[in-house]
Amino acid sequence: MAGWGLRCRKKRRKRKSRRFSEFVSVVIKQCQPQDIETIYTVINEAAEAYRGVIPSDCYHEPYMSIDELSREMEEMSFFGWQDEGQLIGVMGFQRVKDVTLIRHAYVITSWQRRGIGTKLLNYLKNLCETQRLLVGTWADAFWAIAFYEKRGFRLLPDKDGLLRAYWRIPDRQRETSVVLGLELS
């Protein structure tokens, strides 16, 4: 038995050091205007998941145009997960009145399910200066809703009022969206 426990400890040590080395070249950074092309690529590649899921009148090519992204970047900060100089995921962060919004959260498909979205979200939660963090997503994007619920967010019943108060989105998008919230202490 003692030998088995020793081997397990050695394996655990190896795993810990391997994990550390995997993230040595990783950086969470605040994106700058010169990152717009890369952000555009990340968003549009990851948004392919919405094709055929959200109403067809809400999905278009590209999912977000460069002009729309440029306008969004004027209103919010984008933070990105960068690995070896490559932007892998992005998340928008916008204070509106008495709340903070998580906007445009995307991770390149081949990099999903590695904890990148969680790490970006946790980073932004630590930057939050309001008591309430909100995120809006498509009602049929079950994976996005599950992602936020797993991290403590709850679906809010007053989504129409919240979407009108804190977002500027078309009526059709409001009809087909949900809002999740997290109270911060």
Q: What are phi and psi of 9, to 5 degrees?
A: -60, -45
The total number of residues written for the chain in this structure: 185
Q: Give me the domains of the chain, ranges plus CATH numbers.
A: 25-183 (3.40.630.30)
pLDDT of residue 89: 98
CA distance 172 to 140: 14
For the chain, which ranges sit under pLDDT 50? 1-18, 20-21
10-22: pLDDT as tens digits:
334 444 444 544 5
End-to-end CA distance of the chain: 46
pLDDT of residue 51: 96
Q: C-alpha distances in angstroms, 132 versus 18, 50, 153?
A: 36, 27, 10
Residue 141 DSSP class: -
Q: What are phi and psi of 62, to 5 degrees?
A: -70, 160
Nearest to 125 by CA among 114, 117, 113, 115: 117
Nearest to 177 by CA among 25, 164, 185: 164
CA distance 90 to 123: 12
